[in-house]
Homo-oligomer: A and B are copies of this chain.
Amino acid sequence: MISGIMDDTIKDYQLAAWLMAVCWRGMTIEETTCLTDAMARSGQVLDLSQIGPVVGDKHSTGGVGDKTTLVFAPLLAAAGIPMAKLSGRGLGHTGGTIDKLEAIPGFKTDLPIDKFISQVKEIGAAISGQTPDLAPADGKIYSLRDVTGTVESIPLIAASVMSKKIAAGSNLIILDVKCGRGAFMETESRALELATTMAHIGEALGRPVSAVVTDMEQPLGYAVGHTLEVMEAIETLKGNGPEDLTELCLALGALALTSCGKAKNELNARHELERLISSGLALQKFAE
């Protein structure tokens, strides 16, 4: 089916009918995994093995004030986990990381893939815009979902996110599934279902995933708006961030460090991350 979508032998109306059937009937985890795999292989699949044995990536389902990546990526890089993150723009009412980074004058958000990889090798972290060469089937499917009322389906959301993560080549994937009135998943049960689905797909496709469900009943931190959010991220890297954002960054970071064996347990991981903040090393990585 994905080949047919890519070479236009499957018509939009047939795909639209199928998407609506999935919305109401769901898919098994095996079906969702096969779909994700085919979508990931519909374009280029990055090989990041030259960076090192562990390469981290992080994805949030989005929420107002969510500037977590701006803190998380340099913090993990400072902890010795290379972070290779391809990020999107805002969808719906939430801003995207790329939009926020563009508030920094001169910041380049469209690195070519070779430059992106070499920056991860040199600095330990890169965040760049999603390229159309990765999982192009997702782009085609998403644009049809957008105009046929078929966006809000857990297997379709899971396949969309995970196909891009898998094509992007990392092997330590941290997912932050937002839950609440300000999130796409309003209820905890739906957020848990999405998180579990994505974790199962990652496991089945040999890309370990750690997922958390976090609160989005209100904006994260105090700052909302691209420039203000970058400023708040910097304050957080200095140790002066709002409590909720700081706690989320430490929790996600500890999960990453324990998942790949960089820390023995959550307590050790948190101590290390707090040290990287108080010493200024995480902030220095952001500046690099």
A1-28 vs B: 1/0 string, CB under 8 Å?
Answer: 0000000000111111111110111000
Interface centre among A14, A20, A21 (most CB of B within 10 A): A20
CB distance A17 to B19 under 8 Å? yes
Known contacts A24-B24, A24-B25, A25-B24; is A17 also within 8 Å of B16 by CB?
Answer: yes
A72-84 vs B: 1/0 string, CB under 8 Å?
Answer: 0000000000000
| A149, B11: Cα distance in complex, Å | 13
| A17, B14: Cα distance in complex, Å | 9
A87 CB within 8 Å of chain B: no
A248-264 vs B: 1/0 string, CB under 8 Å?
Answer: 00000000000000000
Q: Which residues of B contact A15 (CB under 8 A)?
A: 13
Shortest distance between the CB of A18 and any CB in chain B (Å): 8
Choice from B12, B17, B147 contacting A20 with Cβ under 8 Å: B17
Q: Which residues of B contact A19 (CB under 8 A)?
A: 17
Choice from B14, B144, B147 contacting A148 with Cβ under 8 Å: B14
Interface centre among A11, A14, A16 (most CB of B within 10 A): A16
A150 CB within 8 Å of chain B: yes
CB distance B24 to A148 under 8 Å? no
Q: Which residues of B contact A147 (CB under 8 A)?
A: 11, 13-14
| A150, B24: Cα distance in complex, Å | 14
Shortest distance between the CB of A146 and any CB in chain B (Å): 11
A111-145 vs B: 1/0 string, CB under 8 Å?
Answer: 00000000000000000000000000000000010
Q: Which chain A residues numbered 1 to 58 have a C-beta less than 8 Å away from chain B?
A: 11-21, 23-25
> Which of chain B's residues has its CB closest to A23's CB?
B21
CB distance A144 to B13 under 8 Å? yes
Shortest distance between the CB of A4 and any CB in chain B (Å): 14
Shortest distance between the CB of A212 and any CB in chain B (Å): 33
| A17, B17: Cα distance in complex, Å | 4
Q: Which residues of B contact A18 (CB under 8 A)?
A: 20
Q: Which residues of B contact A17 (CB under 8 A)?
A: 16-17, 19-20, 148-150
Q: Which residues of B contact A13 (CB under 8 A)?
A: 12-13, 15-16, 144, 147-148
Q: Which residues of B contact A21 (CB under 8 A)?
A: 20, 23-24, 149
Q: Which residues of B contact A20 (CB under 8 A)?
A: 16-18, 20-21, 24
New contact pairs (9) apart from A17-B19, A18-B20, CB-CB < 8 Å: A11-B12, A12-B12, A12-B13, A12-B16, A13-B147, A13-B148, A17-B20, A20-B21, A24-B25
A-B contacts, 26 listed (Cβ < 8 Å) = A11-B12, A11-B147, A12-B12, A12-B16, A13-B13, A13-B15, A13-B16, A13-B144, A13-B147, A13-B148, A14-B16, A14-B147, A14-B148, A16-B16, A16-B20, A16-B148, A17-B17, A17-B20, A17-B148, A17-B149, A17-B150, A18-B20, A21-B23, A21-B24, A24-B24, A24-B25
